[in-house]
Amino acid sequence: MRKAALGMLMGALLVGGAALAAAKATVPAYVAAAVADTGRPKADTDRDVGRKPAQMLVFAGIKPGTRMAEILPGGGYFTRIFSKAVGPKGHVFAIVPPPTTEGAQTPAVQAIAADAAYANVSVNPQPFTTLDLPEKVDLVWTSQNYHDLHLKRFNLDVGAVNKAVFAALKPGGYYIVLDHAAAAGSPVDVADTLHRIDPAIVRREVEAAGFKYVGEDSALRSTTDDHSKSVFDPAIRGHTDQFIYKFRKPK
C-alpha cells in the first residue's frame, strides 16, 4: 500500500512538473526578454509576481511588429514591457489626457518615451472620446483604468470612448481590458469609492460598441479579495481580484 501510494505521489509530481514546464514553454522568448528587460525599475519588477505580465501579454497576443495603443498607462509598468515585446517594427501609442491647466503634471510615461531605449513609444495627449491616432492599430490596451472612465469628475461618455477605440482599430483588431473586479451586481459608481468595476458592466458596454467577446484569462482572479474594500486598502493592495477580457473588432 505504501509503495503504491508513493508511486501515485511520484506520478502526480511528474505530471505536475511536466504541466509547469509546458506552461513556461508557452511564453515566447520575446515576451520573456521583454519582462526581463534590465531597464525596468525595481519598483516594477517587484510587482511581477502579482501582475503576471508575461501571461497577460501572451493572452493579449502582443508580438513583434504589433502597433498598439495603451490608454492611461499610469507609471508605465506595462509600457516598457510592450515596447520591448513589439520591437523596432512595432509601436506603442501612450494615450494620456490633454493637460487641462497650465503647469499640469507631466505624465510619467513621457520620461519613458524620451528614453532612447524605448524609442518606439510616443505620448499622445488627447480626449479619449476621439483617439485620433496617426494610423489604425492592431490592439488597444487599458489596465486597471477602465473603471476610471466612469469617475464622476471626468464626466466622460464611456460609450463614446469604446466607439473611439473601435474606430481606432484595424478590422480584426483587439481591445484588451484588465481591471479590478467589483462584486457581481455592483453599481457603476463604486468606481469612485472602491476603484473597481463589475466585469459584467465592462462586457456589456464594450459589446455595445460593436466588439465581439473573445474570452478571458483567469490568472489574476482571487477568491480571497474582499470586494467591499477599496483597492488602495493596505489589507488588499496588490492582491485584488482582477479580470482581463479580450474583445475583437469584426473584420
Question: Could you give the C-alpha distances from 62 to 35, 74, 220, in angstroms and in order?
Answer: 13, 19, 18
Q: How far apart are CA 142 and CA 244, in angstroms?
A: 10
What confidence score (pLDDT) does residue 85 get? 98
Q: Which pLDDT score, from 0 to 100, does residue 105 have?
A: 59
In this prediction the pTM is 0.88
Residues of the chain scoring pLDDT < 70: 1-25, 101-105
Phi-psi region of 61 (alpha: psi -120 to 50; beta: other; left: phi over 0): left
Q: What is the pLDDT of residue 8?
A: 42
Q: Tell me, what's the pLDDT at 98? A: 85
Which class is domain 28-248? Answer: alpha beta
pLDDT of residue 99: 81
Residues 229 and 227: their CA atoms lie apart, in Å, by 5
**Other beta carbons within 10 Å of 174:** 22
Q: Closest by alpha carbon to 222, among 20, 42, 50, 76?
A: 50
Question: What is the model's pLDDT at position 104?
Answer: 53
State how far the Cα of 51 lies from the Cα of 69, in Å rounded to an integer: 20
Cβ(84)–Cβ(66) below 8 Å: no
Hey, where are the domains in the chain?
28-248
Residue 3: what pLDDT? 44
Q: For residues 193 and 153, give the distance between their C-alpha atoms in angstroms, rounded to a whole number.
A: 12
- The rounded distance, in Å, linking the Cα atoms of 60 and 70 is 12
